[in-house]
Amino acid sequence: RLSASDDAAMMSVLCVDKTGTLTTNRLSVSDFFAIGDFVKNDVILYGALSSNEANQDPIDISFINTAKELQVTSGYVQKKFTPFNPSTRRTEAVLEKNGRSFIASKGAVSIITSLCKIKSNDLEFVQTKINEFSQKGYRTLAIATTDGDNSEMKLVGVAALYDKPREDSPRLISDLKDLGISTKMLTGDSLP
């Protein structure tokens, strides 16, 4: 529109999307930890098993790539995959290995932990670590699995994802500030 330049000249606050605007939209798994009897690599294993490369979802791809680097996913067959849905806030896959079926899921920490039976001290540890990850600007996801088709979910652990800022983002924000424009980042990563 012709009036867009007039509107921009009167702008005092610019609200921008984070993913792909201020960041590169190339997520990577930066840190992760296991809970209970699970080991650290289980977090990546079950995170990758509850992912699907065909979706080209950046979160799924980050888990799949990390699993390939660690070489942890051989021998598993994904029988069914349910992609991320904003209403459930998680992905889920039905898997099989050596004739044993089980489920793996990953998603919002609050959703996944609500599906699992967790000791209170483990839940406190998870919350402390999530706060640490949040201070570093990481996005966190919880990963869970079952022992079989109908058994209850067990929390495997939590992974921290990082989306590197674009190289030109700091200069753009600085230039906008010099023009008297305040930049606000809009993100869905914070608690509802």
**pLDDT at residue 192 tops 70:** no
Chain centroid to Cα 165, Å, comes to 16
What integer pLDDT is reported at residue 117 of this predicted model? Answer: 85
What integer pLDDT is reported at residue 150 of this predicted model? Answer: 63
What integer pLDDT is reported at residue 149 of this predicted model? Answer: 59
Q: Which of 134, 169, 121 is closest to 30 using CA atoms?
A: 134
Give φ, ψ of 51 to 5 degrees: -125, 165
Assign residue 71 a region: left if phi > 0, alpha if psi is -120 to 50, beta otherwise? Answer: left
Token duo for residue 52: 């699907």
| 160 neighbors 109 (Cβ within 8 angstroms) | no
Q: What is the CA radius of gyration of the chain?
A: 20
Top-confidence range, 53-57, 94-98, 186-190: 94-98
Query: What average pLDDT is seen over the chain?
Result: 87
Which residues fall within 8 angstroms of residue 94, CB to CB, at 6 or more apart? 78, 79, 80, 81, 101, 102, 103, 149
**pLDDT at residue 190 tops 70:** no
How would residue 187 be classed by pLDDT, with cut points 50, 70 and 90? low
Note the pLDDT tens digit of each residue in 63-101. Answer: 999 999 998 878 899 999 999 888 889 999 999 998 889
Burial of 86 (0-12, 13-18, 19+ CB in 10 A): exposed
Catalytic residue ranges? 17
Average pLDDT over residues 93-118: 92
Burial of 134 (0-12, 13-18, 19+ CB in 10 A): middle
What integer pLDDT is reported at residue 191 of this predicted model? Answer: 47
**pLDDT at residue 4 tops 80:** no
What integer pLDDT is reported at residue 72 of this predicted model? Answer: 87
Average pLDDT over residues 144-166: 86
How would residue 188 be classed by pLDDT, with cut points 50, 70 and 90? low
What integer pLDDT is reported at residue 26 of this predicted model? Answer: 79
Token duo for residue 149: 């088709």
Q: What is the DSSP string of 111-141?
A: HHHHHB---HHHHHHHHHHHHHHHHTT-EEE
- The C-alpha atoms of residue 64 and residue 76 are separated, in whole angstroms, by 13
Token duo for residue 153: 């979910």
- Cα 46 to Cα 18, 36, 40, distances in angstroms: 27, 15, 11
49 or 148: whose pLDDT is higher? 49
Average pLDDT over residues 48-58: 91
pTM of the model: 0.79
